[in-house]
Structure 1
């Protein structure tokens, strides 16, 4: 049996957090992932280095981002032979990736890897209903221009053009994360005052960490933003 290898976290970087539709309004998961991975490669001199694996993920992503980790890796400066795996586990995606990479190192499958994640609600996939989807597929299958035209408009309804925005609700319950949190708080009898105090102290501590330079070597500026813009210390 192979001995378990010791695992260590060498370092990490991130870009500043931003409220939706502000600093990163025009940047998707791919752009944020490339910036973060590229900054890590630059900091630790990993240009052209082949790592065991890059595990990266996002929950809300476009169909074109199905291979997000691999594509971001190819644009990061790492050796193109570095494999990448794309994952998603709600708010735990990045943490789960860290565990995934650590387990691979511990078991001797790889010597080193990178774990991370990104998410944005400013660049969400907006889709259309099943009727329009099937219509467009039928048009694509049609052979002649006239057949395509007939297929496109036969039985067409303006209602087919109504877009569908991704819900922020849990599919099984129809409730949002905040609504679930409220149920949890009631079950565990956590008062509103205690919740507000925890939130306020969190912002206070984050602001204090900025003041003492804690984030100086952790956060890399991106698109002119140097610190989290969702921080409310006052």
Structure 2
């Protein structure tokens, strides 16, 4: 259970929303991070039925944006009062979930209401360069180092090696990726995502789900990252744009407002070998479950970030978790992976499943991150 606090005193998520997830270069490609995140913050206040003046802080995860304080910029763009501060978090792909965890800590320490989540615009991320050495030209880099030299493998290679070491076959990976697309496409067509999505610049649907993507079609693709590997463009997530956030309030505010929500029972952050970052969610899940006093058997809804099919399957095998219990309405393989927002997307999905549609009581969100880290959270509908 949350350290030192009973469940009745735990912070509660009373509203959750996200933008559509756009494939980089497509539907949301002209929107900067603040223009992506602001509509979500505005929608959250309306969904919760509260005034912006009640917000104590805004915490947003972001990985590749313009720098500065994206959370503060987004809060001001959304029209929140200037008295509301902002904090930007970078725990790489886990940033959005880490931001919600930080919001829970602020609420436990006395804050009444915090807006938290993440935002990423891969399409508008600025180009960056290392300074010239010895009179040469500046050298562009596509990402900052995740780990010291020698341990800083690209995500595709590291997760291909993780799948190989875990004995996850190419066939399992392609089948799992096809499953994600089939589930997400069916959910999209049934309107399952509609209640959680905030329309942005006329965009109302996720770009990426492909209903006709079968394991047989995926099997034709060549390895994308190393000769003889099993990770392909088809069983990997897509680079994406998007934002997601939630309203976290104290138990007192929750009782006053009288709304349904998700009680945050526990959060956990863990480190693993930097060269195998995809494993990061495994120890984080174990710690979060232990702190909440529950087991995987007790969990009704499980949302793991599907960065790579092989990575998710390797983690499921290590946790002895049936992959069919994961992302039952599709995950990042189908929806996309807007890095700094993806962890928050998981919580929005749990809110939709457990609160909006009442599909159970307990939920688990978990995500791995570059540099060898993982973040997990256990929630309970209330």
**Structure 2 vs 1, CA of residues 8 and 210 (structure 1 numbering), >3 Å: closer, same or farther?**
same
**Normalising by structure 1, what TM-score?**
0.78
Aligned twin of 1:177: 155
Separation in 2 of the partners of 1:128 and 1:190? 37
Aligned twin of 1:91: 93
Matched, 1:166 2:142: yes
**Structure 2 vs 1, CA of residues 46 and 76 (structure 1 numbering), >3 Å: closer, same or farther?**
farther
- Spell out the pairing of 1:144-223 with structure 2 (5 A cutoff): 160=137, 164-167=140-143, 170-172=146-148, 173-223=151-201
Matched, 1:50 2:26: no
Contact 2:20–2:203 (Cα < 8 Å) also in 1: yes
**Normalising by structure 2, what TM-score?**
0.49
Match of 1:101 among 91, 100, 103: 103
Separation in 2 of the partners of 1:168 and 1:88? 12
Separation in 1 of the partners of 2:96 and 2:180? 21
Aligned twin of 2:74: 72
Aligned length, in residue pairs: 205
Structure 1 unaligned segments of length 5 or more: list them.
Answer: 133-156
Cα deviation, 1:30-65, whole Å, max 9, x if unaligned, reads: 2211122122223334444231221102100123xx
Aligned twin of 2:123: 122
Cα RMSD of the aligned pairs, angstroms, is 2.4
- The structure, 1 or 2, with the larger RCO (C-alpha pairs under 8 Å, 6+ apart) is 2
Structure 2 unaligned segments of length 5 or more: list them.
Answer: 213-382
- Match of 1:119, SS state, is strand
**Structure 2 vs 1, CA of residues 25 and 171 (structure 1 numbering), >3 Å: closer, same or farther?**
farther
- Spell out the pairing of 1:136-147 with structure 2 (5 A cutoff): none
Aligned twin of 1:10: 14
Contact 1:169–1:175 (Cα < 8 Å) also in 2: no
- Match of 1:54, SS state, is strand
Aligned twin of 1:143: none
Aligned-residue offset at 1:167? 3.4
**Structure 2 vs 1, CA of residues 23 and 165 (structure 1 numbering), >3 Å: closer, same or farther?**
farther
Aligned twin of 1:19: 23
Higher strand content, 1 or 2:
2
Task: Please identify the structure whose Cα radius of gyration is greater.
Answer: 1
Separation in 2 of the partners of 1:217 and 1:49? 25
- Match of 1:16, SS state, is coil
Matched, 1:59 2:37: no
